[in-house]
Amino acid sequence: NGDKFTGISIMKIEKGLDSGPVMLSEKIEINDQLNYGLLSDQLSILGSKLIIKAIDLIDKDKAKFLEQDHTKATHAKKITREDEEINWNNNADRIVQQINALNPTPGACFKFKNERIKIWKAEITDQKGKIGATLNDNLLIACKDFAIQVLEIQRPGKKIQKVKEFLLGYKIPKAAQLF
């Protein structure tokens, strides 16, 4: 959703979901190169460090808790099949965020020749064109504002490939509409 930061909090458990007072909290930056899998790994490492620190504070009777500002609370909705579908009418940055958020699972996809093709990695370019159309033979795809260059892609039942390898065996020609 375009957030620039995320993080980990160590909190006291209460009846409500994530509603207890916070003992420790630390945030990390989310950049354009970070997908969900890599972010999850970073958060796991950060979380383990904070748990050790929290145990040490509790052991030394130095733990302090601060009440949360519940007006700033957000909840993540369940990802649906519709969330996986790339809408080329979105801005390029939104589409790259979607691709990153759904990698490694379930993956962001588009339909071509009745197949759900997943894009695993892409980058924003300064190119423009007809929304949802390929602008060259290397899967440069126009979005609402700019185009994205697909870098890693996968057909159903096949392995993830670099776009050049993929296009050796499966052609998506220039000016193809990906709706």
Enumerate domains of the chain plus CATH numbers.
5-72 (no CATH), 81-169 (3.10.25.10)
179 pLDDT higher than 80: no
The pLDDT tens digits for 125-148 are: 999 999 999 999 999 999 999 999
Give the pLDDT score at 70.
83
Write out pLDDT tens, residues 80-104: 999 999 999 999 999 999 999 999 9
Residue 86 CB burial class (10 angstroms; 0-12, 13-18, ≥19): buried
Distance of CA 169 to the CA centre of its chain: 28
Q: Give φ, ψ of 40 to 5 degrees.
A: -60, -40
Under the banding of pLDDT at 50, 70 and 90, the label for residue 73 is: confident
Q: Where are the alpha helices (DSSP H) in 67-122?
A: 81-84, 92-101
User: Which of 45-82 are b and which e, b meaning 16 or more Cβ less than 10 Å from the residue's Cβ?
Assistant: ebeeebeeeeeeeeeeeeeeeeebeeeeeeeeeeeeee
pTM of the model: 0.90
